[in-house]
Amino acid sequence: MFFIGGAAAVMMRLHLIEPAGALVQPETYNKLFTMHGVVMVFFFLIPSIPATLGNFLVPMMIGARDLAFPRLNLLSWYVYITGAAFTLYALISGGVDTGWTFYTPLSSHYLNTHVITTALGVFITGFSSILTGLNFIVTIHKMRAPGMTWKRMPLFLWSIYAASVIFVLATPVLAIALFLVGLERIFHVGIFDPAIGGDPVLFQHLFWFYSHPAVYIMILPGMGVVSELVTCFSKKKPFGYIFIAYSSLAIAVFSFLVWGHHLFVSSQSVYAGFISSALSFALAIPSAIKVFNWTATLYKGSISYQAPMLYALGFIGLFTMGGLTGLFLASLATGVHLHDTYFVIAHFHYIMVGGAVMAYLGGIHFWWPKITGRLYHDGWARFAALVIFVGFNLTFFPQYMLGYLGMPRRYAVYPAEFQVLDVMSSAGASHTRRRLLDSIRLSSLVHPLWTRSRIESLERERPGMGDAIAASHR
């Protein structure tokens, strides 16, 4: 799924080399960005870390044999495949052009593309998320090994736990919102379309009640991974363990209260905007706590720059940039100007790609030997990490400037004055994409033909891996 979403992204960037659009019709462009959004958000970012690293590490880290409900876990995988199949069908049979946000009444009344199929795919995949979240919560509550108290749990578990809480509490709301869109499309029940008595802004409330917490579903596990990596490679205890742990929970709780900042210009009440802005600033506190504590962990540590650590350091830098630009969006006056521009795109790609994907790659590299028993080629992996970092910045940094200058998002054609920055961004994108593929192929999938003996030396090198994982493994 990641490759499909990625391909759509590259197509879009190539298309935007020319102001008038170089490659495709606006309609196709709209389908591309919708597919990119839907696939990346619902089928890659949300399940990536929980489904791979989570399912593998959660039982190991708490010393359990498996998750609490192994069969439920398998079911959630099948459910995911079913949902993905629906979405892929929509893609193959003509695509959908609502944007991943499915805003009404555009999605519920005005488009003739495969809205229902896509929404159904996302709806079904939502169940997979809920089941996984439920599984993690129960496992962490009930199946910790004797002596594995809450305060001794690896930080990754705290973040997975926080993300699971969001999974369980938020996903049903998205499911219902999409279900209502379907209901309105098929049976013309007036819920969101004002022409038949609905309220279009209600959909935005319901959608963002899920989708704002959802970005924390994506980033929280990434934060957990980075907490582990930083601790391991600076060979120190995590600085302020309890703060990192509780800040995960604080993020989970606060994330439900700030969705109003997606609605600053939606004709929402200015007072509601005021409150969500204040709460969004408050949400910066737990995120900042994490960054401060990672930095403090690094401080005076004996740092070894192996590939996973490079990803982790990249994460910290990019996440900080993404987070700080978030303050501009959370602030009401600047938020109005930057809303729905490329600034927003750059902001959430810094968090999602610079954050979640970097953490995912770092985590995969870090635990790759644990999962497969083989080691990747460290030189290639370091090279890939650096190249991704450079390419990523080249892609998305110009987009901050584009957004500030006022280029709106989801534009297939744009005024000529934005071309220079757009070309820079496109060059970065194709570069990143190729390197990203390289990194995955070369470092992880093709090259890990190293012997088991390397693993043992590895565990000597990396004390962090020794802790709970090794204990459970023995």
Partner 1 sequence: MALEITGIAIPSLICIFLFLWGASLFFAAAQSPQGAMAIFVVGKQWMWHLQHPEGPREINQLHIPVDVPVRLTMTSEDVIHDFFVPAFRMKMDVVPGRYTSEWFEATKPGSYHLFCAQYCGTLHSGMTGTIEVMSLTGYAQWLRENSTAESMAQMGLQLFSRLGCDTCHLSDGTGAGPALQGRFGKQVTLRDGQNRVMDGAYVRQSILDPASLPLPNYRPVMPTFRGQVSEEHILQLIAYIKSLASGERTQAP
Partner 2 sequence: MNEENPSVETYIVVFVALLILAALTTGIAYINLGTLNTVVALAIAAVKMSLVGLFFMHLWYSRGLTRIVVLAGFFWLALMVLFTLADVFSRSWIKPPGP
Residue numbers at the binding site for partner 2 (CB under 8 A): 141, 169, 173, 201-202, 205-206, 209, 256-257, 259-260, 263, 267-272, 275
The residue behind tokens 């960054």 is 291
Question: What gap in Å lies between CA 174 and CA 82, rounded to an integer?
Answer: 18
Which partner from the list partner 2, partner 1, none does 411 bind, CB cut-off 5 to 8 Å by kind? partner 1
Question: What gap in Å lies between CA 155 and CA 163, rounded to an integer?
Answer: 13
CB of 380 to partner 1, least distance (A): 38
Which of the stretches 68-76, 180-188, 198-206, 426-434 binds partner 1 when contact is defined by CB under 8 A? 198-206
CB of 2 to partner 2, least distance (A): 31
Three-point CA angle 112, 116, 120, nearest 5°: 160
DSSP state of 439: I
CB nearer partner 1, residue 25 or residue 372: 25
Please give the C-alpha separations between residue 419 and each of 58, 340, 349, 399, 401, in angstroms, as whole numbers. Answer: 47, 19, 20, 11, 12
* 46 close to 52: Cβ distance less than 8 angstroms: no
Closest by CA to 168, choosing from 107, 105, 210, is: 210
3-state secondary structure of 111: coil
Question: What gap in Å lies between CA 429 and CA 423, rounded to an integer?
Answer: 10
CB of 209 to partner 2, least distance (A): 5
CB of 193 to partner 1, least distance (A): 8
CB nearer partner 1, residue 97 or residue 184: 97
Among positions 397-426, residues that touch partner 1 (CB under 8 A) are: 405-406, 408-415
CB nearer partner 1, residue 26 or residue 317: 26
Tell me how crowded residue 386 is: count the other CB atoms within 10 A of its CB: 15
Name the burial class of residue 242, with classes exposed (0-12), middle (13-18) and buried (19+) by CB atoms within 10 angstroms of its CB.
exposed
Among positions 28-57, residues that touch partner 1 (CB under 8 A) are: 29-30
Among positions 67-106, residues that touch partner 1 (CB under 8 A) are: 97, 99, 101, 103, 105-106
Which partner from the list partner 1, partner 2, none does 341 bind, CB cut-off 5 to 8 Å by kind? partner 1
Provide the binding-site residues for partner 1, judged by CB under 8 A. Answer: 26-27, 29-30, 97, 99, 101, 103, 105-106, 109-111, 193-195, 199-201, 264-267, 270, 273-274, 277-278, 281, 284-285, 288, 292, 327, 330-337, 339-341, 405-406, 408-415
